[in-house]
């Protein structure tokens, strides 16, 4: 193959040298002026990768399209070249500046290779671009990854009128959230989750690209290199060179991407929202979105770290609410009719082991009905808690319960009054009976009683008593004229 006739975009051989490629339309003229630090077309790395056009350049390096001599496959090659700490001398070699910038360059290169090594662990993750190899050459470092054909989420939004519905947004972003949750577990923070770094493949899948701004934790050290902030998507902690960052940093950026996708406008810069927050909820801009999802989105956009979701998994679960079908479950770019003729994709489960969100979480429903959602589970749990809070049954009730005996009925108010009156009457009768017994006993014992101090007057007392007793009888007899 004549190298002068190769198109360094599609790597097909053209009929003549120069000009635009008749197959893909790529025109190499002006490429050197647009990317002066880039390696020239046709450069070979690691003895197998021939470099083509520049796919993109950022603050940490340059990404090229390349062809693998051994597999004949098209790849993407990323070169570590932070223009703040190094430059290219000659055509290939990279030379770092002196002093502290040299130290930063070397440490950044260590981070770069660590990124490649860590991302290589996620080969099985369909939402993270696959890493094939990584190596050092030309005084710097490289890694080779899949070349993904398709379009960025940014372009997809623009091509659909500048904004999309929340269902379309979640079909793109929920898988990315799962990918980020897995990456965070390995100690990597992306720090540049924006619509232009989320890629929609031709087959309808999604990929998270460009970990070039990633922050790593290596032992007691961590990279704190400057990055190019994307205003509206960067949280306030990224505005400080040594700001403390974590998974919550990516939470903010992804929430900002979600907000932008459904509203068509970027959130105000986070640094400006600290004193005067002018963020308008999506519903205030006329966007139709379930209230629970909007609340989760606004929590993800909280300026203060303490008010934001601590992990991507928690944010993911808060958004994971059931929705009307309306074609949900179809791949990106499909119509509802196309989706109906295909097997529904497997549901995406949130990563476990993360902090639970205080809102009621429900299982995601796409095209099939779950046997019981988490709302019903929560209601059952509340009923069980109420039962546990009731007073325990006494022993008699427990025995009757166990023996299937009917439980006694409670008395009403009238019955209670009658019972009290009856008890009081019974008590009075008993009291009267006791008084009668005491009186009878005293009367029976009275004739036998003597008073020692009046012993001498006893006969007179008894005589007077007898006279008084017999007088009425005598009078009654004489009045009838009968003898006594």
Q: Tell me: the pLDDT tens digits for 57-115?
A: 877 889 999 999 999 999 999 999 998 899 998 889 999 999 999 999 999 899 889 87
Is residue 208 a contact partner of residue 129, using CB atoms and an 8 Å limit?
yes
- Ordered DSSP codes for 345-411: PPPPPPPSSSPPPSSPP----SSS--SS-HHHHHHHHHHHHHHHHSPPP-HHHHHHHHTTPPPPPPP
Are 277 and 196 within 8 A, CB to CB? no
Q: What is the mean pLDDT of the chain?
A: 77
Beta bridge partners, 87, equal 95
Which has the higher per-residue pLDDT, 111 or 333? 111
Residue 359: inside a domain: yes
Residues 6 or more apart from 472 whose CB is under 8 A from it? none
Quick check: 45 pLDDT over 70? yes
- Number of structural domains the chain divides into: 4
Residue 447 pLDDT more than 90?
Answer: no
Q: Does residue 350 surpass a pLDDT of 70?
A: no
| Percent of the chain whose predicted confidence (pLDDT) is above 90 | 48
Digit-coded pLDDT (tens) for 172-184: 999 999 999 999 9
pLDDT band at 332 (very low <50, low <70, confident <90, very high): low
In the predicted model, what is the mean pLDDT of residues 25-34?
89
Which token pair is 230?
């994307």
**3-class SS of residue 89:** strand
Range with lowest mean pLDDT among 30-34, 154-158, 177-181, 316-320: 30-34
The answer to whether residue 394 sits within a structural domain is: no
10 Å CB burial of residue 480 (0-12, 13-18, 19+) is: exposed
Cα 53–Cα 58–Cα 61 angle in degrees, nearest 5: 70
Give the CATH number for residue 364. 1.10.510.10
Do 467 and 443 share a structural domain? no
What stretch of H or E contains 117? helix 100-119
For residue range 375-389, list pLDDT tens digits in order.
444 454 554 444 444
Of 229, 228, 227, 233, the closest CA to residue 301 belongs to 233
Measuring CA to CA, how many Å separate 406 from each of 107, 391, 412?
79, 19, 18
Averaged pLDDT, 219-224? 46
Coil, strand or helix at 54:
strand
Domain limits for position 61: 3-146
Does residue 260 fall inside a structural domain? Answer: yes
Residue 25, helix vs strand vs coil: coil
Which of these, 42, 34, 82, 47, lies nearest to 62 by C-alpha position? 82
* Highest mean pLDDT of the ranges 317-331, 395-409, 414-428: 414-428
| 190 and 80 co-located in one domain | no
How many Cα atoms within 13 Å fall on the side-chain side of residue 322?
A: 13
Q: Which of 146, 161, 190 is a domain's end point?
A: 146
Q: Does 128 score more than 50 pLDDT?
A: yes
In contact, 63 and 78? CB cutoff 8 Å: yes
- The whole-angstrom distance between residue 208's C-alpha and the CA centroid of its chain comes to 20
pLDDT at 121 over 80: yes
Average pLDDT estimate for 197-213: 87
Least confident of 134-143, 165-174, 183-192, 426-435: 426-435
3-state helix vs strand vs coil in the chain, percent to 5: 40, 15, 45
Distance from C-alpha of 122 to C-alpha of 119, rounded to nearest angstrom: 5
Residue 380 lies in a domain: no
Task: Please report the DSSP string for 157-218 in residue order.
Answer: HHHTTT---HHHHHHHHHHHHHHHHHHHTTTEE-S---GGGEEEETTS-EEE---TT-EEEE
Q: Are residues 212 and 232 in the same domain?
A: yes
Question: φ, ψ for residue 338 (rounded to 5)?
Answer: -65, -40
Give me the pLDDT at residue 60, please: 82
**Is residue 217 assigned to a domain?**
yes
Per-residue confidence (pLDDT) for residue 322, from 0 to 100: 58
Residues 17 and 135 in one domain: yes
Question: Which of these three, 146, 179, 206, is where a domain ends?
Answer: 146
**Same-domain status, 187 and 325:** yes
- With bands split at pLDDT 50, 70 and 90, how would you rate the model's confidence at 402? very low
Q: 352 and 223 in one domain? A: yes
In a domain, 407, yes or no: no
Burial 245-256, CB ≥16 within 10 A → b, else e? bebbbbbbbbbb
Q: State the CATH number of the domain containing residue 39.
A: 3.30.200.20
How high is the pLDDT of residue 303? 96
> Residues 6 or more apart from 397 whose CB is under 8 A from it?
407
Say if 275 falls within a structural domain.
yes
Task: Assess whether 119 and 176 both reside in one domain.
Answer: no
Q: Tell me, yes or no, whether 354 and 294 share the same domain.
A: yes
Q: Please, which pLDDT band fits residue 215 given cuts at 50, 70 and 90?
A: very low
Which phi and psi (to 5°) does residue 287 adopt?
-85, 135
Q: Which of 179, 199, 201 is nearest to 250 (CA)?
A: 179
Question: According to the model, what pLDDT value does residue 31 have?
Answer: 86
Identify whether 409 is part of a domain: no
Same domain, 314 and 461: no
Are residue 133 and residue 158 in the same domain, yes or no? no
Q: What is the mean pLDDT of residues 322-347?
A: 42
Q: Return d(Cα 171, Cα 333) in angstroms, integer.
A: 10
Residues 125, 191, single domain; the answer is no
Count the residues in the chain. Answer: 484
**Domain termination site, one of 94, 127, 146:** 146
How many CA atoms within 13 Å lie on the side-chain side of 426? 6
Range in 47-61, 120-134, 199-213, 298-312 with the lowest mean pLDDT: 199-213
One domain for residues 78 and 199: no
* pLDDT tens column, 245-256: 999 999 999 999
Mean pLDDT within 384-397: 43
């Amino acid at each position: 193959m004549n190298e002068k006739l190769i198109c360094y975009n599609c790597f097909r051989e053209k009929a003549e040298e120069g000009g635009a490629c008749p197959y893909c339309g790529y025109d190499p003229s002006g490429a050197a002026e647009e990317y002066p630090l880039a390696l020239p077309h046709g450069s070979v790395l690691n003895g197998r990768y021939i470099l083509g056009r520049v796919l993109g350049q950022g603050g940490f390096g340059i990404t090229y399209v390349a062809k693998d001599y051994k597999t004949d496959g098209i790849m993407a090659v990323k070169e570590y070249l932070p223009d703040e700490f190094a430059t290219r001398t000659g055509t290939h070699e990279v030379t770092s500046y002196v002093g502290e910038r040299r130290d930063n360059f070397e440490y950044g290169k260590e981070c770069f290779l660590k990124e490649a090594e860590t991302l290589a662990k996620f080969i099985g993750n369909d939402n993270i671009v696959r890493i094939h190899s990584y190596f050092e050459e030309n005084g710097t470092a490289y890694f080779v990854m899949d070349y993904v054909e398709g379009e960025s989420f940014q372009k997809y939004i623009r091509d659909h009128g500048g904004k999309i519905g929340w269902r379309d947004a979640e079909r793109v972003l929920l898988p990315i959230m799962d990918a980020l949750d897995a990456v965070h577990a390995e100690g990597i923070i992306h720090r540049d989750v924006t619509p232009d770094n989320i890629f929609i493949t031709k087959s309808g899948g999604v990929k998270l690209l460009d970990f070039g701004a990633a922050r790593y934790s290596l032992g007691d050290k961590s990279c704190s290199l400057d990055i190019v902030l994307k205003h509206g998507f960067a949280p306030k902690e990224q505005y400080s060179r040594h700001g403390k960052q974590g998974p919550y940093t990516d939470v903010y950026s992804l929430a900002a991407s979600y907000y932008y996708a459904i509203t068509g406008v970027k959130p105000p810069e986070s640094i400006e929202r600290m004193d005067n927050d002018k963020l308008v909820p999506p519903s205030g801009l006329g966007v139709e979105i379930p209230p629970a999802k909007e609340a989760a989105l606004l929590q993800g956009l909280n300026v203060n770290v303490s008010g934001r979701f601590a992990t991507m998994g928690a944010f993911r679960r808060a958004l994971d609410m059931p929705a009307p079908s309306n074609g949900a479950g179809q791949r990106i770019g499909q119509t509802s009719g196309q989706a109906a003729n295909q097997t529904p994709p497997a549901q995406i489960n949130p990563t476990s082991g993360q902090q639970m969100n205080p809102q009621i979480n429900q299982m995601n429903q796409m095209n099939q009905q779950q046997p019981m959602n988490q709302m019903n589970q929560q209601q059952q749990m509340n009923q069980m808690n109420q039962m546990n809070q009731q007073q325990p049954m006494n022993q008699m009730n427990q025995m009757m319960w166990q023996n299937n005996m009917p439980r006694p009925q409670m008395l009403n108010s009238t019955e209670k009054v009658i019972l009290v009156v009856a008890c009081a009457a019974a008590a009075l009768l008993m009291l009267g009976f006791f008084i009668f017994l005491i009186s009878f006993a005293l009367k029976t014992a009275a004739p036998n009683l003597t008073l020692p101090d009046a012993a001498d007057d006893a006969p007179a007392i008894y005589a007077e008593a007898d006279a008084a007793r017999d007088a009425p009888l005598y009078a009654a007899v004489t009045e009838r004229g009968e003898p006594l």
